[in-house]
Amino acid sequence: MKSPLISATIITIGVSACVTAASNEEISSKAAAMLKSSFKANGQATLDRLDQDATQHLCSEFAGKAPPRDVAQKIEALNLATVKYPTDGNLLGDWKNGEKIAQEGRGKQFSDDPAGPVGGNCYACHQLSPQELSYGTIGPSLYQFGKLRGYGPETQRYAYGKIYNPDAYAACSNMPRFGHNGILSEQQIKDVTALLMDPASPVNR
């Protein structure tokens, strides 16, 4: 009596396992189609924001965890090629403006004025100036960023490039690609780089 039941169960499990394993791509495309029909454009937040570029698509496959090394290298190379440095060669702006940009959480939400400020909201995730106690911990502490790493041109380039496109250095970073995706302007990125790298910045004092 038992054995036909057991074999039927095994077959069922086998079939459903096959269906599940074979359809990961299918589930992904169903989910993407479901997203498209579940949103409406609102002001600056238009529906094309649901379209993924190659990096977003690849990074969505790893449920918030780091991708395997080969995929990570591919993503990092793809993004490193996008980093544009200022043509005047000067990477450091005004750290005081940088502090304001780091504090500013508005920008790009459908509830934000499209003509209003767009910030980096750095404090949402990072500790920077020690005076600001309300900081998040999604990213590492950046307190004494320049002081610990040195103020040299290579570190400046790294800091600027990291803000411009963090996925160039750490694939599938939680941090937005501020320059690559046009969130912050070149001048704003220079100002935030100064907040990290200027010896006079409160971050380094």
Partner 1 sequence: MILRAERRELGSCRAASLILTQSACVLALSFCVTACALAQTSAVDEIAKYRAALQDGNPAELWEARGEDLWKQKRGPKQVSLEGCDLGLGPGIVKGAYTRLPMYFADADRVMDLETRLVWCMVTLQAYNESQAKKQPFGNGERKSDIEALVAFVTSTSRGMPMNVALKHPKEVEMYQAGEKIFSYRGGPHDFGCVTCHADEGKRIRLQDLPNLTTREGAQKAYTTWPAYRVSQGELRSFEWRLYDCFRQQRFPELLFGSDASIALTLYLARNANGAIFDAPAIKR
Residues making contact with partner 1 (CB under 8 A): 27-28, 30-32, 34-35, 37-42, 45-47, 49-52, 55-56, 59-65, 103, 105, 108-111, 123-125, 134-138, 167, 174, 176-177, 181-183
Residues in the chain: 205
Q: In terms of CB distance, is 61 or 148 closer to partner 1?
A: 61
- Amino acid of residue 2: K
Distances (CA, A) of 48 to 3, 52, 114, 187, 194: 54, 9, 17, 27, 33
Crossing angle for the helix pair 186-197 and 153-164, nearest 10 degrees? 130
Residue (of 193, 158, 145) closest to 80 by Cα position? 158
Q: Which is nearer to partner 1, 24 or 90 (CB)?
A: 24
Q: Which residues pair with 42 in a beta bridge?
A: 45
State the nearest-atom distance from the C-beta of 46 to partner 1, in Å.
6
List of long-range contacts for 40-48, beta carbons under 8 Å, 24+ apart: 42/110, 43/110, 43/114, 44/108, 44/110, 44/112, 44/114, 45/108, 45/109, 45/110
Spacing of C-alpha 79 from chain mean position: 12
Rounded Cα distance, 138 and 78, in Å: 24
Shortest separation between residue 3's beta carbon and partner 1, angstroms = 26
